[in-house]
Amino acid sequence: MDRIMNALAALLTALVVPGAALLASLALFGAFVALVGVNPLEVYELMYRGAFGSWFSWQNTLTRAAPLILTALCTALPAQLGLVIIGGEGALVLGGLAAAATGVALDGAPVALVMGAMGLAGMAAGAALIGGVGALRHRRGVNETISSLLLTYIAIAVMNHMVEGPLKDPASLNKPSTAPLAEAYQIGPLPGMDVHWGLVLGVLCAVAAWVLMSRTVFGFAARMVGGNPRAARMAGLPVGRLLIVTTALAGAAAGLAGMVEVAAVHGRANAALVAGYGSTGVLVAFLARQNPLAVIPVAILFGGIGASGGLLQRRLGLPDASVLVFQGIIFVVLLASEAMQGRVRLFAPAPILPAAAKEA
């Protein structure tokens, strides 16, 4: 019983800072739209309507949430080992490209086989990219944040090269793309709605990631490495292998997001894959405090923010990208609020400070 209460108190405490950051961001965004002469209250109301106000907007929101869950895992999983990976966009793009190429190459084969192969190809491409980041970090000491960011640009360039060159569909004149996937190989909607199966895939992956990290031997070892590499070495854990496997899993999640985007939304791979899901996923992971389960609601929230952009444009004449400003504000406020983390303790007694005190 005590444990449940403690867990509840910890949960509430954990919610305080991100929640406050979100409210502060809303206020700042309100000030921003007021500067361009729009009533902030009207913006808030429209954003709510565009994101969660109707069944239609809910479906739009959930469709956008699906890839966000997966790209957020690309940051949240390595975070358990203390790594900051921001290369989800690159893994998504490569995963989408690999999935599209596979789907086109296997045209004519049984549906289940092609779908499976596309998923595996997407995950393998993402895993290779982010796993490579992990390997560079372990073997060469290359900073994983920088390398994952820079590799994203390379991944996008590779995708552009392939869709404009070897994999280009001659029929795609204005927007170079791979050949379209046959109708049969596309991921359909969930029964009774327009949201595709990618959402289910994302939720399953998030739950699996949580189970992996909190309930398995692998996750325990990974958390040891993340918490204190010295202690992990003393326990004889294979630090390098844990690092590479976890980053590869993270990349696979983002690669799967690319496959879902190709197979459920675009039907082909082209520059439209670079839609910012990867970078928004970083934001989702941070706001979820790197907890794979918390990623799900936060991804839905951000899916909603993205979904509301269209409505703001149509009704208030604000540019579609205004919501990106909002996302940017959230990120900055969130990073600033990190300094508050641990100082807000509403439900627990103040801890006795460790003996190491700072000399003023």
The tokens of 160 are what?
A: 């552009």
Q: Is residue 349 near another protein by the rule CB under 8 A?
A: yes
Q: Which of 110, 228, 317, 321 binds another protein (CB under 8 A)?
A: 228
335 C-beta neighbours (distance < 10 Å), count: 11
- Work out the angle between the directed axes of helices 55-79 and 292-316 (0-180°, nearest 10): 140
Q: Which of 175, 233, 314, 315 binds another protein (CB under 8 A)?
A: 233
Q: Is residue 238 near another protein by the rule CB under 8 A?
A: yes
Q: Is residue 11 near another protein by the rule CB under 8 A?
A: no
Q: Is residue 112 near another protein by the rule CB under 8 A?
A: no
Q: Nearer Cβ to another protein, position 3 or 343?
A: 3
Least distance to another protein, CB of residue 238, Å: 7
Least distance to another protein, CB of residue 248, Å: 18
Decide if 298 contacts 288 (C-beta within 8 A).
Answer: yes
φ/ψ of residue 157, rounded to 5: -65, -40
Q: Is residue 342 near another protein by the rule CB under 8 A?
A: no
Q: Is residue 315 near another protein by the rule CB under 8 A?
A: no
Handedness of CA 48, 283, 189, 191 (dihedral sign): negative
> What is the residue-wise DSSP string for 131-150?
HHHHHHHHHH---HHHHHHH
Q: Interface mask (CB under 8 A) for another protein, residues 22-51, using x and -?
A: ------------------------------
Q: Interface mask (CB under 8 A) for another protein, residues 247-276, using x and -?
A: ------------------------------
Interface segment toward another protein; rule CB under 8 A; list 72-80, 164-172, 210-218, 242-250: 210-218
Amino acid at 201: L
Q: Nearer Cβ to another protein, position 339 or 357?
A: 357
Least distance to another protein, CB of residue 353, Å: 8
Decide if 309 contacts 323 (C-beta within 8 A).
Answer: yes
Q: Which of 56, 157, 175, 220 binds another protein (CB under 8 A)?
A: 220
The distance of Cα 293 from the centroid of its chain, to the nearest Å, equals 12
Buried/exposed 230-249: b ≥16 CB within 10 Å, e otherwise: eebeeeebebeebbbbbbbb
3-class SS at 30?
A: helix
Binding site for another protein (CB under 8 A): 3, 6, 215-221, 223-224, 227-228, 230-231, 233-238, 349-360
